[in-house]
Amino acid sequence: MNRKEFLKKSAGMILLGGLCLTGIAAEQVRSDKKYKVIPQRCNGCGHCYRSCRDQALTASNNKAVIDTNKCKGCGECTRYCRSMAIVESKR
Ligand code: SF4
Ligand code: SF4
């Protein structure tokens, strides 16, 4: 295999690997998990609102509320809440 063929094959493999990782990441976004906000812990800072791509988080009386019909269970919002007010909801 010459240098040109090697570079061509390497580029193809890198592209394929990237596509696989993208697929895995997309798969991780959705889950059966549901989350809820513990109002006593929520200080209404609003950091979590921006984290939700599905607009499942809204404010009510200065507290975050999760619309369970819109929530896809990705858990992204939990990473943004410093008060640990967003927890997995046991169904
Ligand atoms: S990030 Fe946490 S404390 Fe801030 S509004 Fe959201 S749930 Fe409440
Ligand atoms: S778990 Fe994901 S979809 Fe559900 S409210 Fe949090 S960020 Fe939005």
Q: Which ligand is nearest to the CA of 63?
A: 1
Residue 47 sits in the same domain as residue 91: yes
Q: State the Cα–Cα distance between residues 39 and 72, nearest whole angstrom.
A: 21
Residue 14 domain boundaries: 1-30
- The residue type found at 40 is Q
Q: Which atom of ligand 1 is nearest to the CA of 86?
A: 7
Rounded distance from Cα 40 to ligand 2 centre (Å): 19
At which residue do the structure tokens 């959705």 appear?
30
Of ligand 2's atoms, which has the minimum distance to the CA of residue 29?
2
Are 60 and 80 part of one and the same domain?
yes
Domain identity same for 49 and 37 = yes
Residues 14 and 36 in one domain: no
Return the residue whose CA atom lies nearest to atom 4 of ligand 2.
Answer: 71
How many independent structural domains does the chain possess? Answer: 2
Q: Which residues neighbour 73 within 8 Å (Cβ) at sequence distance 6 or greater?
A: 30, 31, 32, 33, 34, 35
Q: What is the pLDDT of residue 24?
A: 47
30-68: pLDDT as tens digits:
788 999 999 999 999 999 999 999 999 999 999 999 999
